[in-house]
């Protein structure tokens, strides 16, 4: 029975001469794979609609256990500005970051809403603000997964102060009382900057003033991300700039 889904075009690959194998990221069902038959043909109603991260209404049909068919596609929003190289690189990094959180068929409406909003921000923001916006998205990502403790205080007791340390695992900071030795120290402005980004609504990230510790803060945040996803994302350094 055909089912309709509001979805992002998550990935697409050529299939034989005229068709495409499309992965849809949906709010209700997570990732779905479907075959868009004849999508490359000039008379196809899907021509030009299966661009990466387009927001679509997709109708999928097929029997359980078989490859689904993408029988209808309505374009809801095309992110035209993502064709700019820096924006495209940032969006590609977000796909790399979020993809492991969506095993096939696993739904996560909160994460879907986050990535949908994140793509809209990257599509429209001033180019110099991309690193700050990516930092905000990463912090929201960690928080949504339950991996981000309160900032800027100690993750164990909440105590805040000028002397803070990086834990050996996980995210957040440790105060001198809970640091066990061997942790690297973190300058107070770094924890403050990350806390400020985390506390700022996403629509205002682009207006945050630059900070002399932004680069160091992004490095700290990158370590948290690598621990959360258990690898160093390949595109992060390029996307952050």
Domain-wise residue ranges, the chain: 3-78, 81-240
Q: How far apart are the first and last CA of the chain?
A: 46
What confidence score (pLDDT) does residue 65 get?
A: 67
- The domain over range 81-240 is classified in CATH as 3.40.50.300: no
Structure token pair of residue 13: 């690959």
Low-confidence ranges of the chain (pLDDT < 70): 65, 182
Give the Cα separation of 79 and 70 in Å (integer). 21
What confidence score (pLDDT) does residue 184 get?
A: 84
| DSSP state at residue 152 | S
Place of tokens 């050996």: 168
155-161: long-range contacts, CB 8 A cutoff, minimum separation 24: 161/188
- Find, among 240, 231, 237, 235, the residue nearest to 100 by Cα: 231
Give the predicted TM-score (pTM) of the model: 0.91
Please report which helix (H) or strand (E) contains residue 104, including its range: none
Give the CA distances from residue 190 to residues 142, 158, 187, 214, 216, in Å, rounded to whole numbers and listed in that order: 18, 16, 6, 7, 7
Give the Cα separation of 133 and 220 in Å (integer). 16
Query: CATH says 3-78 is which class?
Result: mainly beta
Give the CA distances from residue 236 to residues 45, 107, 113, in Å, rounded to whole numbers and listed in that order: 35, 25, 21
CA torsion 78→83→87→90, rounded to 10°?
Answer: 80
What confidence score (pLDDT) does residue 231 get?
A: 93
What confidence score (pLDDT) does residue 38 get?
A: 82
SS3 224: helix
């Amino acid at each position: 029975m055909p089912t309709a889904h509001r979805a992002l075009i998550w990935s697409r690959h050529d299939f034989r001469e005229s068709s495409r194998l499309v992965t849809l990221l949906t709010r209700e069902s997570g990732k779905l794979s479907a075959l868009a038959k004849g999508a490359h043909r000039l008379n196809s109603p899907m021509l030009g609609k299966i661009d990466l991260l387009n927001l679509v209404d997709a109708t999928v049909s097929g029997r359980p256990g078989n490859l689904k068919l993408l029988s209808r596609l309505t374009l809801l929003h095309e992110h035209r500005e993502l064709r700019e190289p820096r924006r495209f690189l940032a969006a590609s990094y977000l796909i790399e970051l979020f993809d492991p959180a969506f095993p096939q068929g696993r739904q996560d409406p909160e994460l879907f809403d986050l990535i949908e909003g994140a793509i809209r921000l990257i599509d429209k923001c001033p180019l110099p603000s991309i690193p700050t916006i990516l930092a905000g998205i990463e912090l929201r990502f960690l928080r949504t997964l339950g991996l981000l403790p309160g900032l800027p205080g100690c993750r164990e007791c909440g105590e805040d102060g000028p002397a803070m340390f990086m834990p050996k695992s996980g995210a957040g900071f440790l105060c001198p009382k809970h640091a066990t030795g061997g942790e690297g120290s973190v300058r107070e402005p770094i924890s403050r900057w990350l806390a400020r980004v985390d506390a700022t609504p996403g629509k205002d990230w682009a207006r945050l003033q630059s900070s002399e510790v932004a680069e160091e803060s992004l490095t700290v945040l990158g370590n948290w991300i690598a621990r959360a996803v258990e690898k160093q994302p390949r595109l992060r350094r390029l996307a952050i700039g």
